[in-house]
Structure 1
Amino acid sequence: MDLQGTKEARTQEEGAEGPLEAYGGGKSRSKEYRKNERRDSHNHDDRASIHPLRRRQQPFAYPHGSQQTASSAVTRQREPSPSPEAIGIPQALGLSSREQRLLRKARRSPPVTKKTLSELDLPCIMSNINLRMDANFDRDLHFKPDLDGEKGKRKKKEAADYWDSLALEIAIYSFRAATADISIEEVVSTDGSRRTFDPRLPALFETLQDVIKTLVPERDHPTVMQNLEVPLLMQQIRKGVLDMLTLATWLAALLKTHCAPMRDEWADRMVEQIQEGSQSQDPREIVNGLQTLFSILEAMKLDVANHQIRAFRVLLIEDTVPFLQEYFQGKINRGNFHVEPARHWYLAVRDRAQQEDAQKNQTQPQNTATSETEDALKPIEALFRGITDQLLQFNPPDEFPETFLFDSERLWQLRSTIQNLINLDIAWYIFEAYVNKHKRYLSAPEETYSTFRTRIWSLMEDGIDMESRIASNPVANDDDPDHRGGKRWTQNMRCIALEIARFACAALQLDAVVADEVIAPIEEALEWHLSNESDLFRYFQNSMRGKVLDTTLASARRYLPLSPLAICESQRTPPSSSGPVPGSSSSAPAVSGSAGPSSQQLTPQVSDIERIGMRLAHMGVLHWRVWAPLLYLRDEITMADLAPALI
C-alpha cells in the first residue's frame, strides 16, 4: 500500500458507474459491510459496501412481485449440473431431504473470501465516497460486518447453510474413507439419477490460502502454500489421514504472529474446537473450528482497515471537496447524474429568500456595513433556508435534493430530532395549559421542565438522551419510515398522556392516583396536535425555524474560513449552554380542551439547538464548497471568481 492510493482510486473509479462504496455510519456484495441503501440510487458499484459501527443501515430487500417469483422459478429449474468432481450421497448415511438439498444447493465458497475482503483494501477505502463523507462527521468511524436488517438475516442464513453443508460433506468423506473397500449404495432421485453434490472443501482450502496470503508478509507465503497445498490436503481427506489438529495448531501459531494479541484467545478456541471434533469424530465441532478460523481472518482484515482509516483520516477529510467535485463532475459529464432539478430547487429557495428579505428590509432598515457583509452570505443562507424548511415541514419531504445524496441520512436524522423537539414542546404546552386551566402556576418551571423532558424522552428513546442521539447519528429505521417521529409518539400516546397527567396532578397537588378525567382531555389534546398540522404545531414550527436558522448561520460564519479538518475538529467544542432557557409564549394558540391564560413556556435546551445548528452548518458548508461552482452559481461565477468567504 502507498500514499498514492487516492489518485489510483480516482483513476479506477472513473471507469465505474458509481463509487466503490466500501461501506455503508456507519455509515456497508458477496460479503457486505454496513452501507446506506438510500445512497444506492445512482448505480453504485455493489462490490464494496462497508459501514461504520455506529450506524444501523437500511436493509436491502427484494421487491415483492413477479420479478422475484420468476427469478425463483428460474433458480428451481436451473439446478447446476454436477461437475466431474461431484460426489454421490451415500444411502447408508440416511440423510434427510433437507440435508441433501443443503449439499446440492448451499453456496460453494465460504462467507469470507479474498474477493469480499478486498472491499477493505486501501484503494477501495480511498475511493469510497460514503466513507469520505462520514469521516468528516464521525471521529470514531470504523467498520464492522453488516448483519442487520433483511439483507443481514439472509446473509447469516446463507452462511449457516454453508457451514451445515460443510459438516455433512466432512461426514461423507469420513464415511467413504472408512468404507473404501466396500461398494457404496448412493441416493437416487425420483427420475433414477444419482444424487450428487460438488465438494466445498477444495474451495475452502483455496480461499484459506488466498486470504492468509493477503494478511501475512510475503516471506511467509511459501510456508502458507506448502501447508495449504490443496491437492495434497484433499488426497489426505479422501484417504482419511488428514491431521486437522496439526494443521489447526500451525494456523493458530501463524495468526498469533501477525494478528493483534486480543485475537490470541480466539485462535486458541479454534484449536480446541478442532481438537475436540477430531477426537470425538464430530464433523460439527470441526466445522465450528473452521468457522472460528474464518471469523479470525475477517477480524484481522477489519483491524487492518480500521488502522488505515485512522492513519489516513486527515487525508480523507482534507481531500473531501476536490475529490467530490472531480467525482460529481465526471458523473455529470457522462450523463449519469441528473442534478438540474436540484439547481431549480436552489434557485427557487433563493428567490423566495430574496422576497422575504425585501419585505423585511422595508419595515426594518439595516446598517449599511452590516448589510454588505450579510449580502455576501446570502447565497449560502438561501441554501440553509431551503433545507431547514424541509427539516421543519409537518409531512416528510419526498426526498432531499439530489445533490445531498451522501448527506441524506444525516438530514433525515436531523429532521427526526427537530420534529421530536417540536413534539416535546407540544407535550409541555399541553401540560402547562392544563395546570393554568385550574388557576395554578408552576413554582419552579425550569426544574419541572428538566424532569418532564427527561421522563418523556425516556419513554420515546429508551433512555438515549439528545446529545448521544445527535452525536451518534443513527440511520432511520426502515420499519419506521415516519421521520417526523409521529409513529413512535402515537405508539406511546397513552404512556405519554399518563406521564403528563402525573405531572399535572403533582402540580395541582391532587391524589397520587391519576384519574381518568385527568388523562382523557390530555390524551385527546396530545393525539390531535401530534396528528394534525394544527396552529399549535405551526407556532412551535416557526419558533424552531428561527432558532435553528440563527444557530446554523452563526456556525456557518465561523466555518466558512476554516478547512474541512478544522470544521470537523470544531464539532468537539461543547455548546455554550446546556440548561433550559425560559421564553414567553403569550401569543401561543389555545390548546383544544383547555382554558385560561398561557403560562411561561420553556424552549428546548440551547445545547440541543446548538448541536443541530453546528451539524447542519457543517454539512451545508462542505456541500456549498462542492456544489456552488458546479451547479448553484454555475452560470454566475466561475470557481476562480468565487468569493473566498464562500469556498
Structure 2
Amino acid sequence: MDLQGTKEARTQEEGADGPLDAYGAGSSRSNDYRKNERRDSHSHDKPSNVRPLRRRQSPFTYPPGTRQPASSSTTSRRESSPSPEATAIPKALGLSSREQRILCKARRNPPVTKKTLSELDLPCIMSNINLRMDANFDRDLHFKPDLEGEKGHRKRKESTDYWDSMATEIAIYAYHAANPGDAEDQTTGSSSQRKFEPRLPAMFETLQEVIKTLVPERDHPSVMQNLEVPLLMQQIRKGVLDMVALATWMAALLKTHCAPMRDEWADRMLEQITEGSQSQHPKEIVNGLRTLFGVLEAMKLDVANHQIRTFRVLLIEDTVPFLQEYFEGKISRGSFHVESARVWYLGAKDRAQREDEQKSPVTSSPPQQDDIKPLEVLFRGISDQLLQFTAPADFPETFLFDSDRLWQLRSTIQSLINLEIAWYIFESYVHTRNRYLSARDETYSTFRSRIWSLMEDGQDTESRVMNSMDEEDPDFRGSARWIQNMRSIALEIARFACAACSLDSIVADEVIAPIEAALEWHLSHETDLFHYFQNAMREKILAATMSSARKYLPLSPLAICESQRVAPTSSNTGPLVSTGTSTNPNSHSHPTSNNSMQPAPPQQHDIERIGMRLAHLGVLHWRVWAPLLYLRDEIADLDLGSGAFV
C-alpha cells in the first residue's frame, strides 16, 4: 500500500479554506461512518458517565473537492420533469398510496455506494485529522456504520423506503414482462398516469462499481461481463433474467475475497434470492439484494479497519508534524484564528504567578524546573476549566480536536466531586447521631459502588448522549444526571445511615428528607462545600498530571500511547477529602479538621487515571502549539534541541 497518503492528505488540507470544525460540526455534510471508540476510562467511568460533546460531532467530512449531494430544490426540479426512462405505474397492480409515494420519492441510489464507501479509502483515512488524534488515545479504534441518534434513524428510514420501492419496481417489471401489451400501451397512455424513475439500472451500476473496488483487477473483466447493465435490464424487461445464477456467481466471488466470517452473509444472500425467485416474491429478492450490499459494506469496513491497525504506528508518530503543518497553513491563510487561545494562556500564566506568590514558604511546593513551568501553566489553566462549577463557554480553540476528551474528563471530575459531597452528607448524618463507622474503608467502597450503579441503572448510554447533545443545559458538571436520580441516591444514603446508626431497617421519611434536601442544595449551588472538594481535587489532579507529564516529555507519541496500557498504582499518598459536621441544606460552611471523623479513603486510582489522560493530551497539545502560539515570542530563547520541552 502506498504510504504517500500522508503528503497527499496534507496537500488536500492545505487547499481547504473552509471553516475548521471538529468532525464537520456545523456543516451540512452527510457522513455514513463513525469511529467506534473503546473508552479507556477510570475505574468507575463507564461510557454513560461521559458528558456529551458541546458540539454535534460527526466522524467524517468529505474530502476537499468532492461533490456534495444535490439540494432538495434540485431534486424537486428533477422529479417534476420525468426523464425519457420514466416508467408508468400500472393501475392493474393496485398499488397502495404509500407504495406509489415511495416509488416516486425514495432515494435514487442504494444506501451503499462507491461514494459513501470512499470515506473509508486510505487517502481519506490518512487525511482524517480526527482519526489521527483519536488513534493516540484509543487502542481499539475502528469504523462502524453511523446509525445512531436522529441522523441514524433518518438513514434507516431512507434505506427502508429505498428497498421497499425496489420491491415494488421489481413487481412492476415482472407485470410488464407477463403482460407485454400493457407495456406497449403505457407509451401512449394518459399524461396524468403517474410515473417513476427506475432504480434498477443505477443499482446494477452501483453494484458493479462497488465490487470492482473490493476485488483484484484480474476479476474486473468477470465483473463487467456478469454485471453488464444494458444486458441485465434487457433480460429483466423480457422476464428472462436468471437471478439465481447471478446470485450464485456473486456469492462465489465475494466468498473468494471476503473474510471467512462474512461467508454466512453471502450464503444467506443466495438463499434469499433463490427463494424469492422460485416463489416470485419481490420482497424476498430485495432482502437478498439488501444482504448483498450489507456484505459489500462489511468487506469495505474490514479493509478500512485493517488499514487502521496497519498504519496505526504511522498515524500516531506523525501526529505532531502533521498537525503543525495543518494549523500553520490554516493560520497563514487566515482561516483559523487562535489569538484568543494565546490570551487565555497568558491569563493562566498570570494567575499561576499570583498563586505562587501568595503561597507561604512553608506550604509552597518545591520550585519546578524552568523548562517545565510553562507546561504547568497550560495544565493549571485547563484544570481550572475542568473543575469550575459552571461549564466553560468553550475550551480554547487550539483544543478543537480534543474537546470531546476534555468534556469527558470534566464529567468524570465533577462526578467524583459529587460523590464526595454525597459521602460527606452521609458521614455528617452519622456524626449527628453520635455514631462512628467501625469499618470505614469497606463502607466507603460499598457506598461508592452503589452510588455509581444507581447512576447507570435504566439508562442507555448512546441514546442519552444523542438526546442531550443539543440540550439547553447550563450545568455541565453532571448535576443534571445526579439531580435526575436524586431520590434514589438520597434513599441509598439513608439506607447506609440507618445501617450505620442501627436504626429500623425500614427507612423513614425523617431520615430521607434532610439527606435529600442537603444533597439537592449542594449539587445545585456553588457552596463552600463544593469549593473545598474542588480545591482538594485540584491539588491532587495537578500533582498526578505533572508527575505523568515529566515521564511523557522525553517519550515519542507512540511510547506515550503505549504507556497508557499500564494501570496506575494505587498508593495512599494522603486524604483526598475530609468530612464535616453539618447537613443543613442552607449551610455554606466547609469541612474542618475540628471533628472526630477520619478523612475519607483517597480515590488515588481515579486521580492517577485522570492525570495520565490529561498529561497525555496536554503533552501532545504542547508540542504542537508551544512553538506555534504559546511561546512563539520566547522560542528564540529556548534550546529546542536539548530538551523534550516542546
Same fold (TM over 0.5): yes
Task: Measure how far apart 1:125 and its partner are.
Answer: 0.6
Aligned to 1:34: none
Aligned to 1:24: none
Aligned to 1:435: 430
Q: Output one character per residue of 1:107-129: Cα deviation in whole Å (capped at 9) or x when no partner.
A: 10001011110111111111110
Aligned to 2:631: 633
Structure 2 letter corresponding to 1:288: N
Structure 2 letter corresponding to 1:302: L
Q: Do residues 222 (structure 1) and 221 (structure 2) align? A: yes
Q: Do residues 512 (structure 1) and 510 (structure 2) align? A: no
Aligned to 2:469: 478
**1:51 match: secondary structure:** strand
- For residues 170 and 263 of structure 2, the distance between their equivalents in structure 1, rounded to whole angstroms, comes to 27
- For residues 598 and 400 of structure 1, the distance between their equivalents in structure 2, rounded to whole angstroms, comes to 42
Task: Measure how far apart 1:105 and its partner are.
Answer: 1.2
Which range moves more in the overlay, 173-182 or 570-579? 570-579
Task: Measure how far apart 1:88 and its partner are.
Answer: 0.5
Aligned to 1:282: 281
Change (3 A) 1:636 1:81: same
1:148-547 to structure 2, matched below 5 A, reads 148-182=148-182, 193-360=192-359, 371=367, 373-462=368-457, 477-478=468-469, 482-547=475-540
1:52 to 28, 33, 36: 36
Q: Output one character per residue of 1:75-129: Cα deviation in whole Å (capped at 9) or x when no partner.
A: 7677442111110111111112221111111110001011110111111111110
Q: Do residues 592 (structure 1) and 584 (structure 2) align? A: yes
Change (3 A) 1:387 1:364: same
Aligned to 2:128: 128
Task: Measure how far apart 1:336 and its partner are.
Answer: 1.1
Contact 2:514/2:583 (8 A) holds in 1: no
Structure 2 letter corresponding to 1:497: A
Aligned to 2:61: none
Contact 1:425/1:604 (8 A) holds in 2: no
The percent of aligned pairs where both chains have the same amino acid is 71
Change (3 A) 1:535 1:589: farther
Aligned to 2:16: 16
- For residues 184 and 529 of structure 1, the distance between their equivalents in structure 2, rounded to whole angstroms, comes to 79
Structure 1 letter corresponding to 2:582: A
Change (3 A) 1:90 1:126: same
Change (3 A) 1:118 1:379: same
Structure 1 letter corresponding to 2:377: A
Aligned to 1:23: none
Change (3 A) 1:509 1:413: same
Change (3 A) 1:584 1:267: closer
Which range moves more in the overlay, 156-165 or 226-235? 156-165
Task: Measure how far apart 1:359 and its partner are.
Answer: 2.3
Q: Output one character per residue of 1:301-358: Cα deviation in whole Å (capped at 9) or x when no partner.
A: 0000000001100000000000000001111111111111111101110111112112
Contact 1:188/1:194 (8 A) holds in 2: no
Task: Measure how far apart 1:47 and its partner are.
Answer: 6.6
Change (3 A) 1:578 1:101: farther
Task: Measure how far apart 1:578 and its partner are.
Answer: 7.3
- For residues 335 and 612 of structure 2, the distance between their equivalents in structure 1, rounded to whole angstroms, comes to 32
Q: Output one character per residue of 1:335-392: Cα deviation in whole Å (capped at 9) or x when no partner.
A: 11111111110111011111211222666577xxx63x52321111000000000000
- For residues 334 and 44 of structure 1, the distance between their equivalents in structure 2, rounded to whole angstroms, comes to 23
Aligned to 2:48: none
Change (3 A) 1:498 1:580: farther
Contact 2:32/2:146 (8 A) holds in 1: no
Structure 1 letter corresponding to 2:96: S
Q: Output one character per residue of 1:10-65: Cα deviation in whole Å (capped at 9) or x when no partner.
A: 12222223699xxxxxxxxxxxxxxxx8543586976786322548987679xxxx
Aligned to 1:145: 145
- For residues 639 and 195 of structure 1, the distance between their equivalents in structure 2, rounded to whole angstroms, comes to 77
- For residues 545 and 408 of structure 2, the distance between their equivalents in structure 1, rounded to whole angstroms, comes to 16
- For residues 614 and 186 of structure 1, the distance between their equivalents in structure 2, rounded to whole angstroms, comes to 71
**1:193 match: secondary structure:** coil
Contact 1:39/1:405 (8 A) holds in 2: no
- For residues 378 and 60 of structure 1, the distance between their equivalents in structure 2, rounded to whole angstroms, comes to 34
Aligned to 2:605: 607
Change (3 A) 1:183 1:610: closer
Aligned to 2:67: none
1:550 to 534, 539, 543: 543
- For residues 604 and 249 of structure 1, the distance between their equivalents in structure 2, rounded to whole angstroms, comes to 64
Task: Measure how far apart 1:478 and its partner are.
Answer: 1.3
Question: Gaps (5+ residues) in structure 2?
Answer: 40-51, 59-70
**1:442 match: secondary structure:** coil
Contact 2:211/2:296 (8 A) holds in 1: yes
**1:646 match: secondary structure:** coil
Contact 2:255/2:263 (8 A) holds in 1: yes
**2:359 match: secondary structure:** helix
Change (3 A) 1:284 1:528: same
Change (3 A) 1:486 1:47: closer
Which range moves more in the overlay, 594-603 or 263-272? 594-603
Aligned to 1:104: 104
Q: Output one character per residue of 1:185-219: Cα deviation in whole Å (capped at 9) or x when no partner.
A: 76999x96331111101010000000000100000
Contact 2:544/2:611 (8 A) holds in 1: yes
- For residues 187 and 514 of structure 1, the distance between their equivalents in structure 2, rounded to whole angstroms, comes to 81
Contact 1:426/1:529 (8 A) holds in 2: yes
The RMSD of aligned alpha carbons is 2.9
- For residues 505 and 127 of structure 1, the distance between their equivalents in structure 2, rounded to whole angstroms, comes to 59
Change (3 A) 1:579 1:144: farther
Q: Do residues 565 (structure 1) and 571 (structure 2) align? A: no
Contact 2:536/2:576 (8 A) holds in 1: no
Change (3 A) 1:583 1:351: closer
Change (3 A) 1:46 1:639: farther
Contact 1:314/1:565 (8 A) holds in 2: yes
Structure 2 letter corresponding to 1:439: N
Q: Give the length in aligned residue pairs.
A: 608
Change (3 A) 1:183 1:446: closer
Q: Output one character per residue of 1:409-462: Cα deviation in whole Å (capped at 9) or x when no partner.
A: 000000000000000000000000000000000001100000000000000124
